[in-house]
C-alpha cells in the first residue's frame, strides 16, 4: 500500500489488480493488517488509533465500508 496525496494505491497480489482507495479504506485495511477481526474488534482498533465523533453511527458506517471492500475483493469474511 502506497500513500499518495489523499489516497492510497494498493497492488492486490491475488488478482494482480491495482486499487486506488480513499480514506477511510486505507485505515481500515491497515487495522485489519494486524490480524483477522470481527467488526467490533476492528472498530476497537480504529478507536484506539483515531478520534471519532460520538454522534456518528460508527458500526453502520464501518459495516458499509467493509461491504464495499468485500465487493472489491480486498476484504474477505470467514
Partner 1 sequence: MKHELRVRVGSVGFRIGSDWKQPIDQLAALYKDYPTPDIPDFTVRLFAQRPWRRFIRPSVMIGGDYMLPDAAPLSLAHGLLAAEMGMNLQMALGQRRYLLLHASAVERDGKALLMTGDSGAGKSTLSALLGERGWRFMGDEFALIDLETGALHAFPRPVSLKNEAIALFEGAVEADRLGPIMRDTPKGDIRHLRPPKDAIARMGEPAKPALLLFPRFGYDPDVREVGEAEIFVRLTQASTNYVALGEAGFGALSDLVQNIPTRAIDYPDTESAVASVERLWAELAE
The residue ranges that bind partner 1 (CB under 8 A) are 2, 4-7, 9, 11, 13, 16, 18, 20
Task: CB nearer to partner 1: give 1 or 41.
Answer: 1
Task: CB nearer to partner 1: give 22 or 40.
Answer: 22
Collapsed DSSP state (helix, strand, coil) of residue 42: helix
The set of cell numbers assigned to 55 is 454522534
**Minimal distance, residue 32 CB to partner 1, in Å:** 20
Cα diameter, the chain: 39
**Minimal distance, residue 63 CB to partner 1, in Å:** 26
φ/ψ region of 22 (left if φ > 0, alpha if ψ in -120 to 50, else beta) reads beta
Amino acid at each position: 500500500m502506497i500513500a499518495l496525496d489523499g489516497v492510497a494505491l494498493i497492488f492486490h497480489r491475488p488478482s494482480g489488480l491495482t486499487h486506488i482507495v480513499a480514506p477511510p479504506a486505507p485505515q481500515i485495511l491497515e487495522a485489519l493488517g494486524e490480524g483477522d477481526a470481527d467488526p467490533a474488534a476492528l472498530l476497537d482498533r480504529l478507536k484506539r488509533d483515531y478520534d471519532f465523533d460520538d454522534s456518528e453511527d460508527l458500526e453502520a458506517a464501518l459495516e458499509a465500508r467493509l461491504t464495499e471492500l468485500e465487493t472489491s475483493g480486498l476484504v474477505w469474511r470467514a
